[in-house]
Each structure stands twice: as structure tokens, then as C-alpha cells.
Structure 1
Amino acid sequence: MTIKKAALAVACNDLFPINFGRMSLLGAFMMGLSAAPPSLADSKDNDSSTHNYFVEARSYRTQPYGDPPTYSRNLSKTGIAPAKDIDWLDVGLDFRMRYEYRENDFRRPANADPDEPILLRTRAFLGVKNILDPFRFALEFEDARLYNSNFVRADSEVNEFELIQGFAELYFENALGSHRPLRVRAGRQALELVDKRLIANNQFRNTTNNFEGFRVTLGQQTNDWDLDLLAYKPVQRLKYDFDEPIEQQWLYGAVAGWRRWSPFVTLQPYYLGYKVDNKNGATDQNIHSTALRGYGLIGNTGFDYDFDVVYQFGRSNGNQQHDAWASVVELGYTFAGSPWKPRISALYGYGTGDRNPNDKVNNRFNSLFGFNQPWSRNDYFSWDNVSAPKLRLEFTPYKGVRIDTAYNAYWLASDRDSWRRVNLRDRTGRSGDFLGHEFDIRVRYRPIPRVETELSYARFTPGEFPKNLGKALPSNFFYFQVSLNAFE
């Protein structure tokens, strides 16, 4: 193991200029929302400075991770007597250990022996606020390790002694009106946006997606509207050295939220640009994603819904035109009055694949830095070249016990494009398009405060496409993990 580098690389120069002309449609839509009359809100809701407009989505695993991290606590609320008046410091210390058993993993060579890795992750957080306002800062460290694996360690599993967040910010609580803050943040940051399908820090994975750059936030999620503006360089994870920003890449964009109608719908129009400049030009990309996400409750019927539609255009793979789209729709029903609080949901997700490998147009959707776990417990799928219906049941049979289980089926959106996560492709399209189906179940249990256990099993049964390409055996994935939180 080598020693980590001593200094944090600065990624705040040569910002790629955003072509705001491409955002005119999104801007017009947002202006239209802001001009809409507040007729759907009652009289007390018209005071947007005090009313809480936030409604959490009920859709499965779409709520962004907390900021500050959910494992952190304000020191004054930790129960430590000498710290009861220290309300300007947030602290967190979290440890997770997971044992996995993977048999016939489709991402491994055929007939490979079962793998039984043990993954360890330790995180620590420190955030200073209030006492130096408007100046604030935060640090978050992570140590991610892997033992007992049969395969080469990947940067999704190992990232030793790493700074995953280190930023300073200016926070003005009432800059845009009463309780409507302005936040300007710079440095290394981990974040999740919208429904995590394009920007996520991947909490299930052993290592974390993060970025270096700037973020400006107008308002907050309790307000009737808010707006995030961001410009980042993705950070390259180096397993044993200090992580570095990828100088040839930029991720930038805007995410808006409109909640004035949140009893019925929360709307999130957003735009993300992704630019890659490589010296050889073969993998250059300049992709623009314009999207609208909406979710809400259907009155008091018990039904809820969530949708996200994204259209991508630009250039990819050097000289190819990029023309792709993706969508996901989820409809759920929660049984009122039942002590088990069951929710049943149906989801359909679709991401385009490349229709013709021989033309100069790339139709494969780019899922950027999204979260793959909701697509597949095995982590076999992402939001590209896929057509996937899903049925899921969630319930709480006892206090502290949460169970969810699902059935999933998968097809290729284009039978001539690849199953990217597994690296299988038939350019002729003659191997079919049915990938297979998966059953999964997960049980989470909190035996005592500060401790959570999680047990899960998933079985994937291959369809005609993988069978025709030599992947005929079903795969089994089991894991058991324990998480410890020092300050809950």
C-alpha cells in the first residue's frame, strides 16, 4: 500500500461555458411555473416563508441522501452532557461490515468459483455551522476495504483513507426572503439529486461518487420553490492513493423544484450537461440531458405516483450524434389502517439502446452517475438499453423490522446493442432480447439504537439472450450486513 498524497487537488479552473441557449425550453417552463397563481393553496399556505411545502416521495429508494449525512448528529443532541450547548458542530461516525456470497455472478468469467468477499466501510463527518456564519465548512472521511475476494479489487470496493468531502460554503439564511436561504459551496462534495437515477453517491456500494467544483443553492426543500446550480469535475477513485478530479470531464447543470402544488404534485425540471475531452478524440462526449420529474399523492385514495422523463442530445463516442431518451413510471398503493403499513407498487423503466451499430448516431442512453440498486439487487442493470417492469411489496410486520420483496423482468431495448453491466453483445440481433428475471427480498432490523442489520437474497434466472451467449446458469446473491452509528 502506498501513502496517500498530501494535498487536495483544486478543480476550479477552465470551467466549460454552458450554452444557455440549449436551456431555453427548460427556462421557459420554469418561468411559467413561477408565474402560476397560488389558487390551489389555502390561505395559510400562501405564506411561503413559514409553510413547509415538502412532501417526501413514496417511490422505492428515490429519496436523496441527507445533507449533512444521515449518520451525523448535532453534537448538542447526542446526549453527551458536556456538549449539550455545542449546537454549532455536527459530528458523525459510522461503520459498516457486509458479508456477500455471489454464485455465477454474470459480471465474472463463466464457471468462476463462488465469491465470498467481506467489505468494510468506515466514515467520519465533521461540520461547523452557525458560529462563523455566513462561513461554514465540512469534512468527511471514508476508509473502504475488501477482504477474502477471488477477484481483482475494484475502485467500487476499495478506497483507503480518503477525503470524500471537504468544502467551504457561504450560507445566508434569509437572502431571498424570510427562511429562503442562499448557499454557495466550493470544494469536494458528495451529493444526490432528484430521484438519484442520474446523480447519486451510491450508498449501497462500498465507495462513494463525489465531485470537485461549485454548487449554488437558492431556497430549500421546505420552500415552494428552490433551484440548484452546479459545475463539477468528477473525482477519480484511486484505491490506495489520494483521489483526483478528472481534468478532462465536466458535469454541470440546473435542478429546479416547484412545490406550491405539493399536496398533489412536486415538479422537478432539470438540465445536466456532461462533457468529456480526451486527447485521442475517440471517446469525446458532449451530452445534454433535459428532463422533468414529478411525484405526489392522489388525494386520500392511498395511491401515489412518480415519473421521470429524460431526453438526451449532443455528441458521443467522438464523432457520433447522440440521440437517446429514458423514462420511469411508478404507481403505488398504501393500505390505510393496516398495522403492517403495506405498500404495493408497479414500476416500468425504459432506457434506449443503440439501434444500429453501423450508423453515425448513438441511441444508447447515458445514465451518468446514477444509482443502480433499485434496478437490480444483483447490480446487473442500469438505466440504459433496458425495458424493465417490476412489482414490489414493502411492509413493516414489527416495530424496527422492514421487509421489501420484488419480482423483476428485463429485456434489451435494442437487441443489437450491449447488456452493458455484463458486457454481452450480439451486433446481429439474432440472440434475442429477453435478458431474464430476478426475485429479491430484503429484511432490515434495528435490535437496539445505533445498530441496524440487513439481510438480503436475490436470484437471477437468465433468458434467451444470455443463454445464447454462454451465460446459461442462474446466479444467486446473498448478503448480511451490520451498521453501527456512534452518535444516534
Structure 2
Amino acid sequence: MTSLRTAAVSRAMAACCLISIATFGGASVAAQSLPASPASSTEKPGKEETAPKKDETGLLVTASIRARYETVDGRPRPGFATSEDAFLVRTGVAVEYGPGPLAIGGELVDSRAYDIGGGSQITNSDVNALELPQAYFKLRLDHGVGPVGKVAIEGGRFLLNLGSGRLVATDEYRNTVNGFTGLRVDLGPARNTDVTLFYVLPQERLPDDQADIRRNVVRFDRETFDEVFFGVDLRRAKVLGQGQLELAYYRLAEHDSPGRTTADRRLHTLDGRLSREPKAGTYDYDVETIYQFGRASDSTMATAVTKDVSAGFVHAAAGYSFGGPLKPRIGLFYDYASGNGRDGTYHRFDTLYGSRRDDLGPSGTYAALARENISAPGIRFEAKPGKRFEALADYRGVWLASRYDRFYNVIDKTGASGRFGGQQVEGRLRYWVIPDHLRLESNFALLFKGRFLKDAPQAIARDQGTVKFIETNLQVSF
């Protein structure tokens, strides 16, 4: 039954595409279609100011390959090796054609990992060999349609980047992408106001068997109505001067299907954000508050009990960008994400399809901090001297929001190990050997373990006081 419904959706998408071509293919509207959002975009894919541009014919072709080597030691996560080395390669090719208001496009992404041994933390979040996360049509009418103003419609398979990216994003650092199948509509009803509505089926990355992942087995991802994600995102610019206000509502509904168990999440997420982008000689800020409610299970086991959810997240940051040749920025930040309590209540925050790297540090074989059960203030330094070099470094202390919930996948249900998770120092160096085409990058992280990771009975490598991680990658883009 599920496969029939999925096939019906695919046929409906194809029909929509044909209807759009027939109706608008000969239109004289001179609007440009939205740029492609390939994994090969080097910064925040999907953003017009950073995505590659098409030529005069309306054709856009981008490609990239990134090779990354990473090593970690002292990892406390139970069930996995304390140290690991991995070599990951991601290759992406994206094509879009649209000389007028209508465009069609697609993207092939090949994400693989090598030198993976037993006890690896590498999953299908890192490996997804030979996949087509994008195959879409886009229609954009910049001159407006009645009272709704500008209209952009996208249907098929595509990537989603919304708001801060903490809930819905294409993570540029991660070795795989989040793909969705469905419909997205962007409206511009008034000056400085944009609205996005979407209804999608998240693509389930396959294979999900660890042995197949290690062998980079090719198995095409699937989407079904067993997992549905929809919502609305509103953005208003020029608020309180140069600030931007964002309000969003997201709904996720999933349940078990043959061969796949889930946490049966039925979550409502309310998101509010006020931010101002960094600019030389001025202050910037980013304050985001999220409340989540509904029902979910504490694990994906078939016997897990579904509970009422009440969870929250806060990100608060402020900084100042200086002028001069180094273009330095110094900022303070704080992240809070709720965790489960002792009485069995469900308060663990769920980041949905959000990105980790920008706020919390590297993922991959390190992946220490997640947007759950943390209370973590810190300070950050950034510099961008010229167009070739970028540097980032930050320090934060990490406490557990609840001493009874997990941190680094370690749990002490008695709470006797306390709330101090440790201190993290992490950073990134980038150098463009050939601007826009050849980039060398290195990410590092040190987690000095606090009492929780030293005393919790579940934690491994308790005799090692520090988790050490470093990786180097080289990306070629065309």
C-alpha cells in the first residue's frame, strides 16, 4: 500500500512538471529560476549569494570532489572503538537548465568511506553511495502574481535550507546531504517579507546495515508516507534596524514500516529567531528560541513506550566585527537544549534535520556535542584576511541540562556522575589555493572530559582525560 502511494506521488510530480512546462514554457516573463543548491556549494548551499550562477543560456553545471582524512582518540561513546581513522570522499555533480521562469535540474552525490574497521562510528549519515537527492522542476515569477507578490514553486526531489539551519539544512561539512521529496512554495507578499511553505517526505538513506555501509554498497534511497514533514517559515527583514525576524512552524509525523523501526515521532516545533548578520564596524546578534511538543518514543525499539514530549532549545549569540586587514570578529554565545528527567518524562530536544558544524563542532568520527541535553556557554574568534584565508576558533564549557539524560551517548540514570561534561576547544582553518576552485581545510577539536565522562559507569576510555580529533580535507570545485 505504501509503495502504491509513493508511486502515486511520483506520478503526480511528473504531471505537475509537464503541466508547468506546457503552461509556462512559452511565457515571456523574464524571471530567473532559483540557483541550484548542490552539495558542491562551498558555503550554505541554497543561498543565492553563495550558490553558483548560470550562464547566458540558462545552463548551470557544477561539480566537486572532496577527500577527507580524520582521526579521533579517547572517544567515550559506549559500543564503539575509543579511537578511529577514516578516509571519506564526497563527489557531487549538479545540472540545472532554465533560461526563463521554468527550470529543471538534478544532482548526483556519491558519498563513501574507506579504511573503516569494527567499532566504527561511521553510519549512513556519512556513507550514501551513488544517490540522486535532487531531481526537480522550479518555476519562478519575479513580477508577482496578484496579491501574493513574487512566487517560486519547486517540486520533485530537492534539498531544503530554512532559517538558521538548526532545524532544516544541508550540512556542508557532513559527508552526506538531507534530501526531501515533495513540494515547496516561496511567496513574497510584501516588501522585506518572504514566506516558505513545504510538504515533503524525507528521503531515507540506504543501506542502513553496518556491513553494507562499510562496503559502500549502492542502494537507492526511498521516501514513503510513513515519514512526513511539512511546515511554514516566515521571514521579515529590516526589523529593529538591520535585523531579521523569523517565525516558523514544523510538523513531523513518522511511524514504523516493514523493515524499519522509528521513534514514532509526532512532533510540533515552534521556532522564533531575531538576528543581524556580522558586518565590519558593527555589532551582530542571533537569538533563537524553539519549543517542541507532541509524542515520541525514547528509542527505535519496537517495545519502546511512546510518551508526551515537552522540550526546548535556546541559542543566544552576540559579537562585534572589526575593520582592518584581518577582519576579526569576537563573539559570545550560549546553547541550551533540554534533556530527559529522572521521572521518565520526555524532555529531550530533537534537532530534526539540522546542521551541527556551525554551532557545535565537527561531526563525523568526533560528533561530541549534539543539540540535546546541553547547557554550553562559550567565546568565539573569527578572522578572514583577504579572499583566500579564513580562521575560526572557539572555547566552551559543557554542562548537561539534565544529569539523568545522555551526553556523548553516555547515560547515568542515577545522576550520581553530576552535570559537568567537560570543556571543548575547536576550530577550523581554510585556505583557497585557487579561489572558488581548490580549497584546503582542516578542522580540529579537543574535549577535556569533565566529571560526567570520567565517572559515569557507561563511559569507556575513562583513563583518557581528553578526546582528540583532527581532520584535513581538500575540495576541488568546477
* TM category, shorter: 0.7 to 0.9
Structure 2 residue identity aligned to 1:447:
V
Residue 453 of structure 2: SS of its match in structure 1? helix
Q: Give the CA deviation at 1:150.
A: 2.1
Corresponding residue for residue 66 of structure 1: 46
Q: Distance in 1 between matches of 2:476 and 2:147?
A: 38
2:346 counterpart residue number = 362
Q: Which residue of 1 aligns with 2:335?
A: 349
Alignment of 1:247-262 (within 5 A): 247-261=225-239
Match of 1:136 among 103, 112, 130: 103
Q: Provide the secondary structure at the position in 1 that maps to 2:117.
A: coil
1:4 maps to which residue? none
Structure 2 counterparts to residues 374-413 of structure 1, below 5 A: 374-377=359-362, 378-397=366-385, 399-413=387-401
1:11 is displaced (CA, Å) by 7.6
Counterpart Cα distance in 1 of 2:154 and 2:170:
18
1:94 match: 64
Distance 1:245 1:188 in 2: 10
Match of 2:433 in 1: 447
Using the alignment, how far apart are the partners of 2:221 and 2:281 within structure 1? Answer: 49
Cα distance in 2 for residues equivalent to 1:200 and 1:275: 18
Task: Tell me how far 1:206 sits from its aligned partner.
Answer: 0.7
On the 8 A contact 2:64/2:92 being kept in 1, the answer is yes
Which residue of structure 1 aligns with residue 268 of structure 2? 288
Distance 1:178 1:284 in 2: 40
Number of aligned residue pairs: 412
1:217 pairs with 2:203: no
Cα distance, 1:379 vs. partner?
2.1
State the SS of the aligned residue for 2:168. Answer: coil
Query: In the alignment, does 2:229 pair up with 1:241?
Result: no
| Deviation digits for residues 184-209 of structure 1 (CA, Å, limit 9, x no counterpart) | 21111111110011111211111111
* Aligned partner of 1:459 among 434, 437, 446: 446
Tell me if structure 1 keeps the 8 A contact 2:428–2:441.
Answer: yes
Structure 1 unpaired stretches of 5+: 1-8, 16-62, 77-84
What is the root-mean-square deviation of aligned Cα atoms in Å? Answer: 2.8
Q: Relative to 1, partners in 2 of residues 1:301 and 1:402: Cα closer, same or farther, differing over 3 Å?
A: closer
Deviation string 1:22-60 (CA, Å, 9 cap, x unpaired) is xxxxxxxxxxxxxxxxxxxxxxxxxxxxxxxxxxxxxxx
Map 1:181-192 → 2, pairs under 5 A: 181-192=150-161
Distance in 2, matches of 1:340 and 1:235, equals 42
- Aligned-residue offset at 1:328: 0.5
SS at match of 2:452: helix
In the alignment, structure 2 segments of 5+ residues that lack a partner are 1-5, 13-42, 208-217, 298-304
In 2, Cα distance between equivalents of 1:459 and 1:205: 19
Letter in 1 for 2:234: A
**SS of equivalent residue, structure 1 residue 204:** coil
Distance 1:108 1:282, change over 3 A: closer
Measure the CA separation in 2 of the matches of 1:238 and 1:298.
39
Query: In the alignment, what sits opposite 1:326?
Result: 313
- In the TM superposition, residue 297 of structure 1 has moved relative to its aligned partner by 6.3
Mapped pair 1:201 → 2:164:
no
Q: CA deviation at 1:279?
A: 6.1
Contact (CA 8 Å) 1:415, 1:432: kept in 2 or not? yes
Given that 1:253 and 1:273 are in contact with CA atoms closer than 8 Å, whether structure 2 keeps it comes out as: yes
By how many angstroms is 1:264 displaced? 2.9
Rounded to whole Å, the distance in 2 between the matches of 1:255 and 1:458 is 33
1:111–1:232: structure 2 CA closer, same or farther, 3 Å change rule? closer
* 8 A contact 2:44–2:50 mirrored in 1: no
> Paired residue for 1:468?
455
Give 3-state SS (helix, strand or coil) of 1:219's partner: strand
Aligned equivalents of 2:278 and 2:434: distance in 1?
36
Judge conservation of contact 1:64–1:195 (CA < 8 Å) in 2.
Answer: no
2: CA distance between counterparts of 1:390 and 1:241? 41
SS in structure 2 opposite 1:331? strand
Cα–Cα, structure 1 residues 109 and 339, in superposed 2: closer, same or farther, change >3 Å?
same
Q: 1:311 maps to which residue?
A: 291
**Equivalent pair of 1:180/1:223 in contact (CA under 8 Å):** no
What is the CA distance between 1:90 and its match in structure 2? 1.0
Partner of 1:48: none
TM-score (norm 1): 0.78
Hey, which bits of structure 1, 4+ residues long, moved more than 4 A?
A: 67-71, 108-111, 177-180, 279-282, 297-301
Paired with 2:53 and 2:96, the residues of 1 have a C-alpha distance of: 10
Selected match of 2:75 from 88, 100, 105: 105
* CA positional deviation for 1:158: 1.4
- Give the direction of change, closer, same or farther, for the CA distance of 1:443–1:146 in structure 2 (3 Å limit): same
Confirm whether residue 12 of structure 1 aligns to residue 9 of structure 2: yes
Q: Contact 1:432–1:464 at 8 Å: present in 2 too?
A: yes
Q: Percent identity?
A: 27
Contact 2:421–2:449 (CA under 8 A) maintained in structure 1: yes
Tell me which residue corresponds to 2:35: none
